[in-house]
């Protein structure tokens, strides 16, 4: 007897365990590949899966095999030109392979390329940044709710009573409840009118009818104008949704002292903020401002590429940012976030000015301001000025001196904490 | 056409009923041709599940290891990119024989797979001597379940990393962990379970020929110096390690054993690729044609069938960009068809080359050939001059001591025998893979293990052997040496790995 078994609904992903083991085992190489991928991709692409390649020789499974050399007889099909005794040049690169499929060691220098899912990619990205577990789950999920109208209910608090709906209901109820009386009332009035027309307006029947009519009218009048039963309340429910829109300002110092490595650290810092924003806001715009002595709004390409020499005036960037906000992002529509990365160098006289600008203009505008100083040395004057602000506005201002990637997270600690509460 | 039969369903969508009807009809034809098969079981799976099955060597259950994850990722990658289609079928040599049908295939494709796998491969598994002696179809699924559970249990008890390292080492030796000549004992789950406990304790006490401390009697001592252990070289490295490695724990021996058993199970498949695929292709072709002749199949069905049949049978010539070696499907199918032709319509040349076959009953010849050969001997026995001409085979001698390649034989009167011999050798696993055997264990000194590579045709070992040797050393626990014996009997040391696990275990 034939057996046909439908396995389509059986567990999928039987290989998930093996896949995880592969990723765990080659974590080092995969991390390296992810690092390269991050350098390549733009900030807004962080939230995607990635095709990564790791060197094939690292993951080779060795076997005893023949190497090159020795004598091999190889039979091949499709002879269209040779006769016995012909000699031909040895083709480059395949000499002595022996057989058609026996490349020595089975190794090629090509990378072993495969795709990481979004989860796997972010996992490795987070891993590097030493994010606490709670934050990771938060970033991976949407937890923001908003309250929206959802019709009407029959229960609620007095403030939510919807007058129009309630009265409309009451009217309907009154009409419905009065309907049987009205029918009899109409009949009686017709009969009375007939009696009166016949000159029998004073008969017993007419008097009785008048009494009945008066009774019914009282009855109809006594129907309550509005009843608790009629009340309708506005209903609101919570639905999970990214709430509104945000703009993220990336400000980076591009003076000569910011080298490639520092820029890569800054890039991750921006990426992390971006990732946080994608969880919270539906629509995000990114504005890139780079500065040395002059600030300039640029696209992402230029932002990370270009390198200028010369001094540093941070306030120029802050001023530019304020102007852009005024022109394009009014605060009642946009949530504004700002991330600033620098190596701490600033023109001495400029730092107090920055501090003033921040306190008087920028801080009231933004939801959160994060500053990282990428340097190993002593903090500079800008740092000292910013420290004062931090003391006053610790809820929405964070700063951190960064030596390596794991130091980035503390900058966002307050920000993430707020969302977790 | 003797009896009037309703034609088989003609739609391209399959349904359980239509698959069942096709199976019934194909089964009827198979019985008419006298194919002896295991019962079979058809399983409908999705493309994703097909990739899962691919990654774990086609088996429905298998233990976990990163290398299967690697295979999965690369399959997934090339499938998603559209570089390759998935195989139409996977068939498992078990009783009942399990055949996977992919849900995305059309009805004609499902019928093709049923004929190809459920009757073609199935009868080959049941009949061929290699499968009969080396695999136990009724026990394999149970054994794999057992293997997976045992390994999961060990992972829990001894840690995933420990087990993984051991599996890595065993996998490196899987190709030299088979008995090529000695017949292995049959696998049986119940026996396996009963004997596991027993084996663990007993073996541990047995290995220790190596540890013997009792003083040996004087008169034997001189001979002892010359005596090698093992007395004869041992070809099955995993077997030798399982039985003799001094430092392995009982559970580690069990893992070595599992990998060895699984490797042995797959060994016949590697030796009968051309024959087995050719056999299955011959039968799906013959049986579906037969159904068409009985007017059970529509012409549209046949066209779709022929389209995929011919694309599988394509053999590009050596100078084509598509060329990737000899296509085992094409060669196998052509050979079986050719044998049938020689039996039915022999030419004068056939009578000269195959006097026993020419004019014989092709069914009997087929049965004999299917049962008693493997690729190497099958080609040596049955490849006809006519087929060599059709394939336009030629033989190149690639000798490193010569700067140029030389054409040794082509498809002509002078070349047939050499050509056939060379092609047969090309399918001889013993030729393709280096011959490495356990040569000696230094019983009197450091217990170092010596492997010897018997060189053939001056072919050296590849670079990866250093890494493999490290894996051997991990298993053995003492120094391991690899020697090479050339064609003249000269022996030289190729490489040596020094380890002493005892020191690692007990710290400095």
Query: pLDDT tens digits, residue range B126-144?
Result: 999 999 988 888 888 899 9
Check residue B215 and give its pLDDT. Answer: 55
Which pair of structure tokens corresponds to residue B414? 């002078």
Looking from the CA of B263 toward its CB, the CA atoms found within 13 Å total 22
Which pair of structure tokens corresponds to residue B501? 């696990």
B299 interface with A at CB cutoff 8 Å: no
What would the pLDDT profile of A245-302 be if each residue is shown by its tens digit?
A: 788 888 888 877 778 888 888 888 888 878 777 766 777 888 889 888 888 888 888 8
Q: Tell me the pLDDT band of B352, cut-offs 50, 70 and 90.
A: very high
What are the extents of the domains in chain A?
Answer: 18-57+112-129, 158-235, 243-420
Which residues have a Cβ under 8 Å from the Cβ of A327 and sit 6 or more positions away? none
Residue A112: list chain B partners with CB under 8 A: 70, 74
A9, A76, A104, best to mutate vs chain B, most B CBs in 10 Å = A76
Q: Tell me the pLDDT band of A384, cut-offs 50, 70 and 90.
A: confident
Check residue A353 and give its pLDDT. Answer: 87
Residues 457-496 of B with CB under 8 A from A: 457-465, 467-468, 471
Q: What is the mean pLDDT of chain A?
A: 79
Structure ipTM over 0.90, yes or no: no
Least confident residue range of A228-237, A256-265, B78-87: B78-87
Helix axes B47-55, B66-80, angle to 10 degrees: 140
Check residue A107 and give its pLDDT. Answer: 33
Q: Tell me the pLDDT band of A104, cut-offs 50, 70 and 90.
A: very low
Least confident residue range of A190-199, A407-416, B415-424, B444-453: A407-416
What would the pLDDT profile of A300-321 be if each residue is shown by its tens digit?
A: 888 877 767 667 888 888 899 9
B391 interface with A at CB cutoff 8 Å: yes
Which pair of structure tokens corresponds to residue B9? 């369903």
Q: Tell me the pLDDT band of B210, cut-offs 50, 70 and 90.
A: low
Taking an 8 Å cut-off on Cβ atoms, the answer to whether A12 and B394 are in contact is no
Taking an 8 Å cut-off on Cβ atoms, the answer to whether B400 and A25 are in contact is no
Taking an 8 Å cut-off on Cβ atoms, the answer to whether B69 and A61 are in contact is no
Check residue B371 and give its pLDDT. Answer: 95
* pTM score: 0.72
Mean pLDDT, rounded, for A157-184: 89
Residue A19: list chain B partners with CB under 8 A: 69, 72-73
Least confident residue range of A332-346, B271-285, B297-311, B429-443: A332-346
Taking an 8 Å cut-off on Cβ atoms, the answer to whether B316 and A10 are in contact is no
Residues B50, B51, B52: CA angle, nearest 5 degrees = 90
Residue A54: list chain B partners with CB under 8 A: none
Name, of A66-70, A103-107, A118-122, B352-356, the range with top average pLDDT. B352-356
What would the pLDDT profile of B370-379 be if each residue is shown by its tens digit?
A: 999 999 999 9
B38 interface with A at CB cutoff 8 Å: no
Taking an 8 Å cut-off on Cβ atoms, the answer to whether A114 and B74 are in contact is yes
Name, of A88-97, A192-201, B256-265, B329-338, the range with top average pLDDT. B329-338
Residues 66-125 of B with CB under 8 A from A: 66-70, 72-74, 76-77, 80, 96, 103
Q: Closest partner residue to B467 among A62, A86, A115, by Cβ?
A: A62
For B61-203, strand residue ranges (E) read: 89-92, 97-102
Q: What is the mean pLDDT of chain B?
A: 86
pLDDT surpasses 50 at B505? no
Whole-angstrom Cα distance, residue A93 to residue A75? 18
B400 interface with A at CB cutoff 8 Å: yes
Mean pLDDT, rounded, for A30-49: 77
In angstroms, the separation between the Cα of residue A253 and the nearest Cα of chain B is 40
In angstroms, the separation between the Cα of residue B198 and the nearest Cα of chain A is 32
Least confident residue range of A272-286, B116-130, B194-208, B374-388: B194-208
CATH (residue range A243-420):
3.40.50.410
What percent of chain B has a predicted confidence (pLDDT) above 90?
Answer: 53
What would the pLDDT profile of B44-76 be if each residue is shown by its tens digit?
A: 988 888 888 878 777 888 899 998 888 888 888
B294 interface with A at CB cutoff 8 Å: no
Mean pLDDT, rounded, for B213-225: 53
Closest residue in B to A66 (Cα–Cα): B461
Task: Dump the DSSP string for A17-53.
Answer: HHHHHHHHHTHHHHHHHHHHHHHHS-GGGTTS-EEEE
Closest residue in A to B457 (Cα–Cα): A71
Check residue B203 and give its pLDDT. Answer: 63
Which residues have a Cβ under 8 Å from the Cβ of B109 and sit 6 or more positions away? B88, B304, B308
């Amino acid at each position: 007897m034939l057996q046909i078994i439908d396995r389509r609904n059986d567990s999928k992903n039987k290989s998930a365990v093996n896949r995880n083991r592969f990723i765990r085992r080659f974590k080092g190489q995969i991390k390296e590949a992810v690092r390269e991928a991050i350098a390549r991709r733009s900030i807004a692409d962080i939230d995607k899966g990635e095709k990564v390649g790791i060197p094939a020789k690292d993951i080779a499974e060795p076997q005893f095999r023949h190497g090159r050399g020795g004598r091999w007889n190889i039979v091949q099909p499709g002879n269209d030109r040779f006769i016995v005794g012909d000699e031909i040049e040895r083709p480059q690169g395949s000499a002595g392979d022996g057989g058609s499929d026996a490349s020595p060691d089975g190794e090629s220098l090509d990378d072993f390329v495969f795709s990481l899912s979004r989860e796997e990619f972010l996992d490795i990205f987070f891993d590097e940044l030493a994010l606490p577990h709670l934050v990771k789950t938060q970033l991976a999920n949407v937890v923001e709710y908003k309250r929206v109208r959802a019709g009407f209910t029959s229960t609620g608090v007095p403030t939510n009573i919807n007058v129009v709906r309630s009265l409309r209901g009451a009217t309907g109820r009154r009409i419905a409840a009065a309907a049987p009386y009205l029918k009899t009332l109409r009949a009686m009035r017709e009969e009375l009118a007939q009696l009166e027309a016949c000159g029998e307006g004073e008969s017993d029947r007419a008097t009785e009818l008048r009494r009945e009519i008066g009774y019914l009218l009282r009855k109809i009048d006594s129907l309550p104008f509005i009843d608790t039963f009629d009340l309708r309340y506005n209903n609101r429910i919570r639905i999970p949704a990214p709430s509104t829109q945000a703009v993220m300002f990336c400000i980076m110092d591009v003076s000569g002292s910011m080298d490639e490595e520092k820029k890569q650290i800054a890039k991750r810092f921006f990426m992390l903020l971006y990732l946080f924003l994608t969880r919270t806001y539906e629509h995000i715009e990114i504005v890139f401002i780079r500065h040395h002595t002059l600030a300039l709004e640029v696209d992402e390409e230029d932002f990370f590429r270009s390198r200028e020499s010369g001094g540093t005036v941070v306030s120029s960037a802050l001023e530019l940012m304020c102007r852009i906000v005024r022109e394009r992002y009014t605060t009642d529509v946009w949530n504004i976030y700002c991330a600033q990365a620098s190596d701490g160098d600033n023109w001495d006289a400029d730092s107090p000015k920055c501090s003033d600008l921040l306190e008087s203009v920028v801080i009231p505008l933004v939801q959160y301001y994060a500053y990282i100083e990428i340097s190993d040395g002593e903090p500079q004057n800008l740092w000292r000025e910013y420290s004062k602000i931090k003391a006053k506005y610790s809820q929405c201002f964070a700063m951190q001196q960064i030596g390596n990637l794991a130091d980035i997270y503390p900058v966002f600690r307050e920000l993430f904490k707020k969302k977790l509460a | 056409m003797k009896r009037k039969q309703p034609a088989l369903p003609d739609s391209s969508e399959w349904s359980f009923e239509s698959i069942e009807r096709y199976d019934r009809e194909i089964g009827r034809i198979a019985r008419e041709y006298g194919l002896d098969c295991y019962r079979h079981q058809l399983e409908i799976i999705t493309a994703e599940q097909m990739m899962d099955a691919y990654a774990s060597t086609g088996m429905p259950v298998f233990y976990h290891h990163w290398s299967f994850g690697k295979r999965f990722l690369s399959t997934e990658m090339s499938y998603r990119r559209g570089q390759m289609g998935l195989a139409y079928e996977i068939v498992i040599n078990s009783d009942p024989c399990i055949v996977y049908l992919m849900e995305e295939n059309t009805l004609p494709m499902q019928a093709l797979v049923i004929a190809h796998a459920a009757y073609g491969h199935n009868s080959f598994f049941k009949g061929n001597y290699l499968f009969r002696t080396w695999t136990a179809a009724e026990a394999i699924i149970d054994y794999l379940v057992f293997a997976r559970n045992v390994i999961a249990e060990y992972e829990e008890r001894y840690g995933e990393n420990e087990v993984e390292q051991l599996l890595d080492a065993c996998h490196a030796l899987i190709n030299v962990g088979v008995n090529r000549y000695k017949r292995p004992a049959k696998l049986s789950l119940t026996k396996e379970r009963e004997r596991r406990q027993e084996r663990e304790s007993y073996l541990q006490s047995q290995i220790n020929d190596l540890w013997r401390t009792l003083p040996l009697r004087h008169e034997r001592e001189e001979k002892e110096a010359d005596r090698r252990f093992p007395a004869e070289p041992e070809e099955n490295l995993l077997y030798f390690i399982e039985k003799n490695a001094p430092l392995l724990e009982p559970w580690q021996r069990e893992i070595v054993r599992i990998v060895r058993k699984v490797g042995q199970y797959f060994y016949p498949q590697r030796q009968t690729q051309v024959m087995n695929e050719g056999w299955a292709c011959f039968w799906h072709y013959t049986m579906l044609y037969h159904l068409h002749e009985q007017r059970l199949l529509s012409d549209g069905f046949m066209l779709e069938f022929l389209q995929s049949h011919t694309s599988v049978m394509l053999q590009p010539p050596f100078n084509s960009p598509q060329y990737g070696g000899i296509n085992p499907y094409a060669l196998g199918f052509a050979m079986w068809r050719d044998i049938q032709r020689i039996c039915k319509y022999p030419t004068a040349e056939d009578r000269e080359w195959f006097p026993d076959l020419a004019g014989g009953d092709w069914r009997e010849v087929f049965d004999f050939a299917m049962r008693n050969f493997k690729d190497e001997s099958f080609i040596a026995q049955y490849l006809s001059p006519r087929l060599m001409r059709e394939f336009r085979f030629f033989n190149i001698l690639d000798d490193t001591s010569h700067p140029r390649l030389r054409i040794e034989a082509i498809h002509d009167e002078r070349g047939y025998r050499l050509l056939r011999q060379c092609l047969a050798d090309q399918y001889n696993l013993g030729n393709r893979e280096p011959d490495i055997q356990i040569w000696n264990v230094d019983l009197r000194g450091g217990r170092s293990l010596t492997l010897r590579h018997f060189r053939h045709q001056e072919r050296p070992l590849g670079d990866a052997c250093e890494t493999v040797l490290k894996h051997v050393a991990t298993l053995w626990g003492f120094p391991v040496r690899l020697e090479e014996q050339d064609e003249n009997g000269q022996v030289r040391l190729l490489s040596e790995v020094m380890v002493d696990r005892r020191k690692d275990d007990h710290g400095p």
